[in-house]
Amino acid sequence: MHNSNRYCLLLGSLFITILLGGMYFCSETLGTEFDDRLKGQWPQWRGPNGLGVSTEKNLPKVWNTESQNIRWKIRIPGKGFSSPVVSKGKVILTTAYESSKLVISQRIVSMAGLGLAVAFVIAAAVNFYIKWRPRTQKKFTPVKRSLIERFNLPFIWITSFSFVFVELVATIRPRYFELAFGRFDFLVSSLGGYHSNLLSMDKGAPAAIWLTSGGIALLGLAASIGWLRAQSIWTLLGAATVFLFAPLLVIFTPLDQWKLEIDLNKRIIFTLPGMLLASWHILNCFKIQFRKKGGLRNKPTFTPRGIIVAPWYIIKRIEARWRLKNIWRFGNKSALVFVLPLIGLSVLVFVPPNFMQTQLGIERVVVCVDMNSGNLLWQQPVFIKPAERKHNENTYATPTPAVDGMHIIVNFGLGIACLDFDGNILWRKTDKHYFENSRYGAVSSPLLIDDMALVVQECEWNSKQATWIAAFEKRTGRRRWNINPMNIYGCYTTPLLYRDGAHIQLIIASRENMASYDIESGELLWTQEIPIQNMVASMARSEEFLCIAGGTYGPKATIMMRLNGKGKDTKVDVIWQSSRHAPGCSSPVIYDHKLFVVTDTGIMTCYDAPSGKVLWNHRLKGRHLSSLVAADGRVYACNTKALTTVIAADSEFRVLAENDLQGRCYASPAIADGCIFIRTENHLYCIEKEGR
């Protein structure tokens, strides 16, 4: 009896094991989207399996800055666009801010600049008082002045104070410089123009720093000349200095953040204000006035012939004579109190940002917040390196971390690292060729699968370094394999993991093609051509359906595919595709057999996923760069001004709520444990339905 019970128990266990194994195999073959072990977590970019979909219920629909449904709010130091991830009651995200050495250097420059500016203003006030105070001495008959001399004094004062104002904004508050002056781009467009990305003091844009600070410095040097004695050799030498540095500024301009050479006309435009001002001082060396007599015998009349000869009449009356008298005379020595501060400001605005601060570091930091209380648990600097080239709308901390409850994998482009949940750095790996090849900055987020961390570093189209894909042991950092695929380049998207039974594929969408690799060996499994360039949006998947939608430059498209087979035998069948209203940066989401996409300009489209039928199309408010997420029968779309539109995931368009957090937002929302986590430019919000 004892043996029979044992046999029955053994057979029963075997039957249950086979049944569960079959169920697991079937679910894995279809590509199950959710794992019960990840319930209540958001462990990587776009959540469980990177699909942007959560099984959470009873989520908040309405929230606002008046604390409605806001569980907590915490200020995040620095700046970053990485999305939050949630695991084991902790919220992890990355940020970047200036290192202490860089902050100290900037403070010294700001204080010195402010001191020089104050000295100049005080000297100007004293000069004004002395010059314009009432005089009791006998007045002499005023000497007739030339045309230039009549406007000299107001011209010098206006240009000098304008330079001091611009210099202070660029040095003390560089982030406001582009906001204040970038809007004047249209004023010079007729002269060849320059894009607003060049009118910037962003540390990741060497060409912008060089041209902006150089143009301001030339203006300052030219303004300082005006306080010297006019019609002297010192004025001529000062003007010659401006004209000497202008070509050097043009010749040695570095590449822009896209690693392209700036057009000559765009470089020259930055030198024009300083050279025009220096030319004014050279004109002071000439006595220019109108003759009382001379020119044409008869004045021009308002006839066709008179209008034609009018310019010649004016030119004939102009008299210009070179002033040679006392050319070596320096003039009033007190003018140095104006000249020296202006020269000092010119040096401060140009030299430190280009030759000193560029070698100081930006700290790339991992931040951990307690999910229940919103308290900052720890922040750990991982890399302290100089700023690399990046896109104006990118940051030094854009890729989203990947976590598994014990390990945190972060990618900052210049290197990857692994930390534990107490903030201790377990290992780090650097990419020594990243700085010289960075163009837009890092975007692709790492992935964790089993005991491996997968990282993709895509190259630029003109990069000397090829794209590399690597698998690291998450505990030790040992590199298991590394490949350099030649068909993956020029795109900025996070790959997708796809399980085809017992094996897992790493699918990457790139420029005009998508490719799949075996995660155990890095072997290329299959490729598929796609009519899309410059991919930024991530892929979406539901069971065997795979959607690729995007394109920020060149052709755009939304493509729905079906994956059949396993490994190298996988077949990719295109079910439907559309080039209308394809997204740019925002990743699509497949939810309840519907595909939702939103363009950068806010046009949202809902498709029937299997057939491609457009169910509805509607414009949302604002610009949309954050990726879509879906849960609890809703789709959440957050625009760049932190306005989240909550839309019903139905075949008819219905806006359930519009929630404004009043700030910039580029990160995508995270959903975990009944809460929605939204990161704005300066804060992290935990939003929870009232009554939970």
Note the pLDDT tens digit of each residue in 33-55: 445 566 779 999 999 889 999 99
Give tens-digit pLDDT for 375-407. Answer: 999 999 999 999 998 888 899 999 999 999 999
Integer angstrom CA distances of residue 118 from 121, 125, 225, 663: 5, 11, 19, 34
Domain ranges of the chain: 33-99+361-688, 100-134+142-285+323-358
How far is the C-alpha of 132 from the C-alpha of 153, rounded, in Å? 13
The arithmetic mean of pLDDT across residues 239-257, rounded, is 93
pLDDT at position 135 is 56
Superfamily of domain 33-99+361-688: YVTN repeat-like/Quinoprotein amine dehydrogenase (2.130.10.10)
Q: What is the pTM of this model?
A: 0.83
How far is the C-alpha of 267 from the C-alpha of 477, rounded, in Å? 45
For residues 597 and 549, the answer to whether their CB atoms sit within 8 Å is yes
pLDDT at position 295 is 47
Give the containing element (helix H, strand E) for 634: strand 634-638
pLDDT at position 137 is 54
The arithmetic mean of pLDDT across residues 129-140, rounded, is 64
Among 648, 536, 623, which Cα is nearest to 588's?
Answer: 536
- Per-residue pLDDT band at 297 (split at 50, 70, 90): low
b/e map of 524-556 (b: 16 or more CB within 10 Å)? ebbbbebebbbbbbbbbbbeebbbbbbbbeeeb
Q: Is 588 helix (H, G, I), strand (E, B) or coil?
A: coil
Residue 11 reports pLDDT greater than 50: no
How far is the C-alpha of 132 from the C-alpha of 103, rounded, in Å? 43
For residues 596 and 634, the answer to whether their CB atoms sit within 8 Å is no
pLDDT at position 670 is 97
Give tens-digit pLDDT for 606-644. Answer: 999 999 999 999 999 999 999 999 999 999 999 999 999
- Per-residue pLDDT band at 690 (split at 50, 70, 90): confident
Integer angstrom CA distances of residue 542 from 34, 36, 47, 313, 602: 10, 17, 14, 81, 24
What is the separation, in whole angstroms, between the first and last Cα of the chain?
Answer: 54
For residues 521 and 533, the answer to whether their CB atoms sit within 8 Å is no
Q: What is the mean pLDDT of the chain?
A: 86
Q: Which residues contact 523 (CB under 8 A, 6 or more apart)?
A: 517
| The Cα angle at residue 621 between residues 615 and 624, in degrees rounded to 5 | 85
For residues 77 and 379, the answer to whether their CB atoms sit within 8 Å is yes
The arithmetic mean of pLDDT across residues 202-206, rounded, is 82
